């Protein structure tokens, strides 16, 4: 099989076929993800919390993201590798360009992900016009947790929901190739996924998005502390990492994960 590209994900969306994504931070897990049919390996800045033991993603540096992206890229032959731009590495379009260039040239990322709505339009446009594939991220924005005051479901009232839909359309219009929606009501995720022609990947956003992503350590049950309610421990169901990954991919493709108990209304 050849490497997953933006065109592959668009075709899956058009065909109504769901795809699975997972975070990855090193070559060994990336290889297992790749072999299990995960379409997208996301080098998330969640590594600050699950690998480094920080209490947020804010301390993660660009050099650390480049290092982990390079490891993941070595383990993936098929999965598309997307890397997070860490906190304050994209505060201006020019800084975003320099940071994205390093993630792609030194880390081997095929796409970069950034958090934020309308305020990021100019940056997304600048990146897209210069050939940088961009994944936008709306809903719960972990890099802004100190400003917003916690990890909570977003877009619950109608004003916030309309604003998120408008932001999603603005991101697509600016040239984003993918969108991640984190921790939002499933009805809103469904509306946004239907309104956009780019693929939408949900985490804690119900089963109606085009793809699903989870933090690898959450779905293997090895995250310290409480697992988010929208995740599931596939390792305890199956007994091996390889089988857990395959079960996740199969359930996402079949539309049986996430179930109602992993979704918000
Ligand atoms: O950093 C990360 O792992 C992410 C996912 C939660 C989507 O951005």
Residue with the smallest CA separation from ligand 1 atom 3 is 44
Q: What is the pLDDT of residue 227?
A: 87
The finding on whether 46 has its CB within 6 A of some atom of ligand 1 is yes
The finding on whether 177 has its CB within 6 A of some atom of ligand 1 is no
Q: What is the pLDDT of residue 225?
A: 82
Q: What is the pLDDT of residue 149?
A: 84
Residue with the smallest CA separation from ligand 1 atom 4 is 44
The finding on whether 199 has its CB within 6 A of some atom of ligand 1 is no
Contact of 186 with 206, CB cutoff 8 Å = yes
Closest of 77, 50, 59 to residue 220, by C-alpha = 50
Q: What is the pLDDT of residue 243?
A: 98
Is 94 an active-site residue?
A: no
Q: What is the pLDDT of residue 150?
A: 84
Low-confidence stretches of the chain (pLDDT beneath 50): none
74 Cβ contact list (under 8 Å, min separation 6): 27, 30
Q: What is the pLDDT of residue 226?
A: 84
**CB-based burial of residue 187 (10 Å sphere; 0-12 exposed, 13-18 middle, 19+ buried)?**
middle
Residue with the smallest CA separation from ligand 1 atom 6 is 215
* For the CA of 213, the nearest atom of ligand 1: 7
Q: What is the pLDDT of residue 67?
A: 98
* Tens digits of residue pLDDT in 81-126: 999 999 999 999 999 999 999 999 999 999 999 999 999 999 999 9
């Amino acid at each position: 099989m050849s490497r997953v590209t933006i065109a592959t994900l668009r075709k899956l969306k058009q065909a109504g076929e769901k795809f699975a994504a997972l975070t990855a931070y090193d070559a060994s897990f990336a290889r297992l993800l790749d072999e299990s049919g995960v379409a997208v390996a996301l080098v998330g800045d969640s590594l600050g919390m699950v690998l480094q033991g920080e209490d947020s993603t804010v301390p993660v540096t660009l050099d650390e993201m480049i290092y982990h992206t390079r490891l993941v890229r070595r383990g993936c032959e098929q999965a598309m590798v997307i890397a997070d731009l860490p906190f304050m590495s994209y505060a201006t379009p020019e800084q975003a360009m320099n940071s994205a260039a390093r993630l792609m040239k030194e880390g081997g990322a095929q796409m970069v992900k950034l958090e934020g709505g309308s305020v990021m339009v100019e940056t997304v446009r600048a990146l897209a016009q210069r050939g940088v594939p961009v994944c936008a991220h709306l809903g719960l924005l972990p890099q802004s947790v100190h400003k917003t005051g916690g990890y909570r479901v977003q877009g619950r009232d109608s004003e916030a929901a309309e604003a998120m839909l408008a932001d999603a359309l603005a991101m697509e219009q600016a040239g984003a190739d993918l969108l991640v929606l984190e921790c939002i009501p499933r009805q809103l995720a469904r509306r946004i996924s239907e309104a956009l022609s780019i693929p939408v990947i949900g985490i804690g956003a119900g089963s109606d998005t085009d793809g699903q992503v989870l933090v690898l350590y959450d779905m293997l049950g090895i995250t310290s502390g409480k697992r988010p309610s929208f995740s599931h421990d596939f390792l305890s169901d199956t007994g091996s990492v390889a089988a857990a990954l395959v079960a996740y991919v199969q359930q996402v493709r079949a539309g049986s994960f996430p179930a109602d108990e992993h979704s918000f209304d």
